[in-house]
Amino acid sequence: MVGRLLRRADIECHALQHLVTPEDQAAAADGLGDHTAGLTNLDQTAALIAEMDLVITADTLEAHLAGALGIPAWVMLPRHANWRWMRDRVDSPWYSTMRLFRQAAQGDWRPVLEQVMHNLDAWAVQRA
């Protein structure tokens, strides 16, 4: 499912995290602009995020950077997310440009990814 997201012809995807496992790099190699080696500090990461139209991520430092910069960000959260994300919300009181996608069942990311991809379809049409 992630591969389908990364190989969309109408969207350019980029890796923003600087700590990526070799397994994740191999899985995402196809269709993903990899900036991980060049991101050695937060200034570089923030500068790259500032160039993005949308950041899709899990609960990471990059999510908080996007929110702080006012860049639209969609954050995928586990069932038992950190307290900062509160409960039963699809938005964040901390970041006005952020949308939250939550797991309904612990460990089940499929519905979350399906929801993100459905919303990405609408987002791409709106931007075209």
SS (HEC) of the chain: CHHHHHCCCCCCEEECCCCCCHHHHHHHCCCEEECHHHCCCHHHHHHHHHCCCCEEEECCHHHHHHHHHCCCEEEEECCCCCHHHCCCCCECCCCCCEEEEECCCCCCCHHHHHHHHHHHHHHHHHHC
> Who wins on pLDDT, 78 or 17?
78
Specify the number of domains making up the chain: 1
CATH code: domain of residue 90: 3.40.50
Q: What's the mean pLDDT in 87-92? A: 92
Q: What's the mean pLDDT in 87-116? A: 94
Mean pLDDT of the chain: 86
Provide the pLDDT for residue 10: 82
- Domain enclosing residue 45, as ranges: 2-127
Q: What's the mean pLDDT in 46-70? A: 94
